[in-house]
Amino acid sequence: MGNQSEKLQGEIREADPDERLRVRQLKTRPLMVEFQRWLSGHAPTVLPKSPLGEAFGYALSNWVALNTFVEHGILEADNKHQRTRNEASGPVEK
């Protein structure tokens, strides 16, 4: 599921915001709904204080924020592209 979404976002990275939004609504939203169902179904089966339990809890409690990119074509799905650009420009002086 994550690989499908990541591949899809890579394919539309250079698209205009309206096209990104259209594709995300059509293809990414169903993947995210499926992922939320999976998380919700499996969360009760792991110890809440375990690393996996904490990851599940974090994802579910921040679900709205984690899905913001699906509702806005102008947003990047991740910050990988920005990090790469920042790293290419050199270290930041403090």
The stretch 30-47 carries a mean pLDDT of 96
The pTM is what?
A: 0.71
| 69 neighbors 24 (Cβ within 8 angstroms) | yes
| Domain layout of the chain by residue ranges | 2-88
| pLDDT score of 55 more than 90 | yes
pLDDT at 5: 75
Choose between 4 and 41: higher pLDDT: 41
The stretch 6-19 carries a mean pLDDT of 85
pLDDT at 33: 96
**How many Cβ atoms are within 10 Å of 28's Cβ, its own excluded?**
21
| pLDDT score of 79 more than 80 | no
| pLDDT score of 52 more than 70 | yes
**Residues, the chain:** 94
Place 4 in a pLDDT band, splitting at 50, 70 and 90: confident
